[in-house]
Structure 1
Amino acid sequence: MATESHKPPSKSPPESPPKSASRPADERLQADPDPESLASDVDSVFDANSIISSTASISSTILNYRKLHGRTYQNYEGAEYWGPNDDRQNKGLDMAHHMMYLAFEDKLYLAPLENPQKVLDVGTGTGIWAIDFADEHPSAEVIGTDLSPIQPAWVPPNCKFELDNCEQPWTYAENSFDYIHIRGLVGCVQDWEALYRQCLRCLKPGGWLEQHEFALPIAGNDAPLPDDCVWHDWGSVFREAGRKMGRSFEVTDHWEEWLRKAGFTETLHTKSTRLPIGGWPRDPRWKEVGLFNQLSLEQGLEGFATYICTQVLGWRHEEVTVLLAKVREAIGNPTYHAYYPLKTVYTQKPLTSSS
């Protein structure tokens, strides 16, 4: 993996289409009548060299990653994560970050934060969200944790990264964080209720917990997907793998129950956002969201499926290759008008909590 110390650009490209939050969702996601223009749209919004992942210098033990079919995976003792941690996969994660930033109308979070001073990003990945948050809130101390040291060495002075397994008991003090952010941990956690209890303990009274996760199934925006569409099979693969691993990919179906059992008694604010796959929306912003979603999927597709299908479900590598070919075809099919649901929940720690 690369060892250059440079900061990945934040919130690129520099200019985004005008905000369109005031327009109805169905209008914003109307399909573009000219699907032939999609190939040029990809070139116009994305520069393959604009998002770069770097690695920090860490001990040789941690950097001795496990290898599978030419890809590398985290080697943190006692932890398990199904996605690769190499540069190829990390570029896809950074594309997904920009996609979500656009979809949230140029926002890094939805909770109504007021001058947060200590922030925790659980499962920070490439660290791009934590870096952007630290830039946006220079008075805040931002900590990002992950199983792999894939974050850049050059970061804002108020941002730092730590190797940590969020499923193990946290060593942070009680009532220490104003805000805890979680994103992209489907298929990673065995006991979400226990994780939420740790969040509750470490949040200050009145502090906010916010989580964003991709949900299943992938669906058609204005018409159901055909019965023989591979997106149905794709969802089934991850549901089955989650059951076998004991680490669900359907977190958003249960997180309200788990949060309540963990002790979060305040209002649970929820939101569902349709992330188009491809540039089929007519609205310029949502077309860009869809193109970044397409590029992120294409970049990370093999990494998403390799471990899940071969190590968890016992498929032969040739079977995975066939599945991926069908999914790539579906990603590029402008007639499907397919989308991923992105689900959000955020809530406060009660002011009178004894946790």
Structure 2
Amino acid sequence: MANIETQIAIDGDETDSAYNDEDIASDTTSLKSAIVNYKYRNGRRYHAYKEGSYWGPNDETQADQLDIFHHISLLLLDGELNKAPISKNPTKVLDVGTGTGIWAIEFADKFPSAEVIGTDLSPTQPSLVPPNLRFEVDDFTEPWVFRRNSFDFIHARCLYGCVADWSAFYKEALDHLQPGGYFEQLEMSVWVKSDDGSVTPDSIFDQWGKISLTLGEKFGKSLQTVDESKAGIEAAGFINVVERRWKLPVGGWAADKQFKEIGQYNRIHWEQGIEGWCIYLLTSLLKWSLDDVHVYLAKMRQALRDRSIHAYQEV
């Protein structure tokens, strides 16, 4: 897989022990009825716990998008669940913002030695999981309820637009790792680019990037995490920080077989995800009508299927 400096060739064919005892009465013990009393807006389902603190739906449509991106991530990472050189027998692992729980489930299966915890605002994960895994409803932007120095690996994926105070988040992660432990974060850009100028200024892709960053600013939670995370991690006091960057094609326009496959999945990923990514923020912050949103999304879907546009995002 080529790294971020490489230009992608274009296909010419245009056709429990982790917890402090005193924290038992924490937010994670909120009444189940309050947690699962989901909120519905514009035909989409959202979390009720800490309502409004996250912009994404938690319904089946968005769950499918998250699982598609998990598959894309496996392709990018050569089938691996992580790049950090963790122990062959990890003991305590935390997956913050676990979403559908698919990463945590696969990690727990792969490493039966590990006690794996996945946290999220929504209790939408499956109940049939490996015995060494449990899911908790929790807000990772609040002070953490776990015992410090308790995890040997903390994993995060796609937390863009989720965190107002990254310095506090990274400090919590550092404080809760065992000496010698690892933190790993995978983020994707919301801004679509091209190397050949096919993503033109003022195109719908260009508009998407500009509008998305504006929404993040208005929401108070940056959507530029892909470009900000390394500096934030280093500022928190982590050492031996390594950043890897990839170009993730949008669509099957690449000549390289692996890039083409990833791009084809990514186009489906975008088509599945774009409504959930923007509808709450556009209607609540910019006061767009639903008709305006649907016209916007129709233009995006048309561009996503245009093989003459050689678009990619950075991961």
TM-score by length of 1: 0.80
Shift of residue 177 of structure 1? 0.4
Q: Distance in 2 between matches of 1:217 and 1:168?
A: 28
1:319-345, CA deviations, whole angstroms, 9 ceiling, x for partnerless residues?
111110111011101111101111xxx
Give the one of 89, 93, 99 matched to 1:119: 93
Give the one of 220, 225, 250 matched to 1:277: 250
> SS of the counterpart of 1:214?
coil
Shift of residue 77 of structure 1? 3.0
Give the one of 282, 290, 295 matched to 1:322: 295
Residue 171 (structure 1) aligned with residue 145 (structure 2): yes
> SS of the counterpart of 1:145?
strand
Residue 83 (structure 1) aligned with residue 79 (structure 2): no
Shift in alpha-carbon separation, 1:203–1:251, aligned structure 2, 3 A:
same
Give the alignment of 1:4-43 within 5 angstroms. 25-26=6-7, 29-36=8-15
Q: Distance in 2 between matches of 1:79 and 1:168?
A: 15
CA contact (8 A) 2:50 2:121 kept: no
Give the alignment of 1:167-246 within 5 angstroms. 167-246=141-220
Shift of residue 78 of structure 1? 6.0
Unaligned 5+ segments in structure 1 are 1-19, 37-57, 343-355
Give the one of 145, 153, 161 matched to 2:135: 161
Give the one of 61, 65, 69 matched to 2:38: 65
Question: Which residue matches 2:240?
Answer: 267
Question: Over aligned residue pairs, what C-alpha RMSD do you find?
Answer: 1.8
Shift of residue 258 of structure 1? 2.2
Question: Which residue matches 1:43?
Answer: none
Q: Distance in 1 between matches of 2:234 and 2:52?
A: 26
Give the one of 289, 299, 302 matched to 2:275: 302
CA contact (8 A) 2:200 2:206 kept: no
Shift of residue 267 of structure 1? 2.2
> SS of the counterpart of 1:77?
coil
* Bigger Cα displacement from structure 2, 195-204 vs 75-84: 75-84
CA contact (8 A) 1:278 1:294 kept: yes
CA contact (8 A) 1:126 1:151 kept: yes
Shift of residue 251 of structure 1? 1.8
Q: Distance in 2 between matches of 1:196 and 1:300?
A: 27
Q: Distance in 1 between matches of 2:116 and 2:52?
A: 23
Shift of residue 60 of structure 1? 3.1
Q: Distance in 1 between matches of 2:191 and 2:275?
A: 19
Shift in alpha-carbon separation, 1:224–1:33, aligned structure 2, 3 A:
closer
Identity of aligned residues (%): 44
1:157-204, CA deviations, whole angstroms, 9 ceiling, x for partnerless residues?
111111000011111111100110111110111101000010011000
Shift of residue 21 of structure 1? 6.6
CA contact (8 A) 1:147 1:165 kept: yes
Aligned residues: 298
Question: Which residue matches 1:253?
Answer: 227
Shift of residue 67 of structure 1? 0.7
CA contact (8 A) 1:21 1:105 kept: no
> SS of the counterpart of 1:219?
coil
CA contact (8 A) 1:216 1:250 kept: yes
Amino acid at match of 2:122: S
Unaligned 5+ segments in structure 2 are 16-30
* Bigger Cα displacement from structure 2, 117-126 vs 129-138: 129-138
Shift of residue 287 of structure 1? 1.3
> SS of the counterpart of 1:139?
coil
1:270-328, CA deviations, whole angstroms, 9 ceiling, x for partnerless residues?
01111111111122222111111111111111111110100122212221111101110
Residue 101 (structure 1) aligned with residue 74 (structure 2): yes
Q: Distance in 1 between matches of 2:197 and 2:107?
A: 37
> SS of the counterpart of 1:279?
coil
Q: Distance in 2 between matches of 1:123 and 1:85?
A: 12
Q: Distance in 2 between matches of 1:337 and 1:306?
A: 26
CA contact (8 A) 1:79 1:165 kept: no
Amino acid at match of 1:323: Y
Shift of residue 79 of structure 1? 6.0
Residue 331 (structure 1) aligned with residue 280 (structure 2): no
